[in-house]
Amino acid sequence: VAAQVDVLVVGNGGAGFAAAQQLARHGVRPLLAGPGPVVDRPTLTKTTLTTGRPGLLADAGKIAELGIAVHDGLVRSVDLAGRRALLDDGTAVEAGAVVLACGLDYEQPRLPGDCTRMFTVASPAGAVAAHRLLSAGPRRVVVVGAGLLGVESAATAAAAGHEVVLLDPLPRPLDRLHDPLPAVAAAELERAGVAFRPGFAVALVEDGPAGCKVTSADGAMVTGDVVLRATGGRARSGLAGLPPLPIAVGPGLAVPGLPGVHAAGDCAVPAHPRFGRLSHPHWDSATGAGRAAADAIAGVPDAGAERLPYWWSDIGKLRVQEVGAGSLAVEWAQHDGLWVGRDAAGTVTAVLVIGAPRRLREARGLVTASWSGRS
């Protein structure tokens, strides 16, 4: 079977759907390929664990109304130079342009021992399956990994009345992020009643009579009724024919050396006009990149090229937001309730807003003003 499409979008998450939607706005009918509905990932660790329903970026009716064709399944392989792809139903696709938007892979190698009640919260199926066990009443929940996804999951589960232990080999939650985020997370988790166990490198997870038994490399042990794995995503895809991920893309999210091929979202690293090449695997960057790739394909100038990087996280009821490039700041200081990050030259590179969503615009203004040399 062979099919010809104007644009093939590989991956139906934040970047892929944004690209398809923007192409449809430009009058181009894309083929959006990816398994299942178009899930809005941030809902998984915030609401899906308690409602059992992943939030969707659009339902099937809306997608059809937009004029987006869908392949509900995986792309098996791509020949990017020829802009050809093989779908998992055997269809060979020839495309005028390709947008790679396959995201990160959150499925980790299974831990030795295995446990039938361990779920990957970052996968829609994992969060839904975890909800099935959590909905039956208060449970002992063990969350593995205290990055953003683990911290959010632990706070969500605790707020729903579960007894939660959060494990990480590092000394503080969010320890890989800059100050004051680890202290903010620690305080919020304590308030929520989450027990944080630092120095816990999980070596074995196995089913036992008292529930799931989680053992550390040095022999410490915790048990729980449900284990939520939140050990992060990796740029890795089962899709044959891809260049190494993440892909360093040029203007218009174009993949160098492959005309008509673009990459957007977590699988790509674009160059920002101010901050340079910046890995920023967050929702706003992914959707902005998807739209920018679509604009480039449609020959429309990219309206969002200077868009400030932005991410947010909800630790229970506490909203944390950051604009700019936090990774480029070497020092952080509180200034009138906002945390301002500066580089070695003293220029504001990012502003962190904690529990004050209405001040986001002001935070953006601080980063933009320093960019235009006004502060």
Ligand X SMILES: Cc1cc2nc3c(=O)[nH]c(=O)nc-3n(C[C@H](O)[C@H](O)[C@H](O)COP(=O)(O)OP(=O)(O)OC[C@H]3O[C@@H](n4cnc5c(N)ncnc54)[C@H](O)[C@@H]3O)c2cc1C
**Residues within the interface to ligand X (CB under 6 A):** 10-16, 33-35, 41-42, 44-45, 74-75, 101-104, 122, 149, 237, 239, 265-267, 281-284, 286, 311-313
At residue 87, the 3 state secondary structure works out as strand
At residue 65, the 3 state secondary structure works out as helix
Q: How far is the CB of 98 from ligand X (least distance, A)?
A: 12
Q: How far is the CB of 21 from ligand X (least distance, A)?
A: 12
Distance CA 289, CA 305 (A): 9
Output 35 or 260, the one with its CB closest to ligand X: 35
At residue 206, the 3 state secondary structure works out as strand
Q: How far is the CB of 183 from ligand X (least distance, A)?
A: 20
Q: Tokens standing for 200?
A: 């816990």
Q: How far is the CB of 206 from ligand X (least distance, A)?
A: 25
Residue that the structure tokens 């040399």 belong to: 373
Output 186 or 247, the one with its CB closest to ligand X: 247
Output 213 or 272, the one with its CB closest to ligand X: 272
Q: How far is the CB of 229 from ligand X (least distance, A)?
A: 12
Enumerate residues 6+ apart whose C-beta is below 8 A from 337: 356, 359
Output 302 or 314, the one with its CB closest to ligand X: 314
Output 30 or 281, the one with its CB closest to ligand X: 281
Q: How far is the CB of 373 from ligand X (least distance, A)?
A: 28
Output 124 or 211, the one with its CB closest to ligand X: 124
Output 45 or 215, the one with its CB closest to ligand X: 45
Output 266 or 295, the one with its CB closest to ligand X: 266
Distance CA 357, CA 335 (A): 16
Q: Tokens standing for 43?
A: 């809902």
Q: How far is the CB of 233 from ligand X (least distance, A)?
A: 7
Distance CA 245, CA 301 (A): 26
Alpha-helical (H) ranges within the chain are 14-25, 42-43, 49-51, 60-66, 124-134, 148-159, 181-192, 283-298, 360-371
Output 284 or 362, the one with its CB closest to ligand X: 284
Distance CA 167, CA 123 (A): 20
Residue closest to ligand X (Cβ):
13
Give 346: exposed, middle or buried? Use CB within 10 Å, 0-12, 13-18, 19+.
exposed
* Cβ–Cβ under 8 Å, residues 370 and 364: no
| Among 350, 325, 347, CA closest to 338 | 350
| Among 354, 286, 282, 287, CA closest to 321 | 354
Q: How far is the CB of 217 from ligand X (least distance, A)?
A: 26
Residue that the structure tokens 């944390």 belong to: 320
Give DSSP secondary structure letters for 12-27. -SHHHHHHHHHHHHTT
Distance CA 222, CA 212 (A): 8
Q: How far is the CB of 107 from ligand X (least distance, A)?
A: 10
Q: Tokens standing for 345?
A: 């030259």
Residue that the structure tokens 């400030």 belong to: 308
Output 102 or 129, the one with its CB closest to ligand X: 102
Q: How far is the CB of 152 from ligand X (least distance, A)?
A: 7
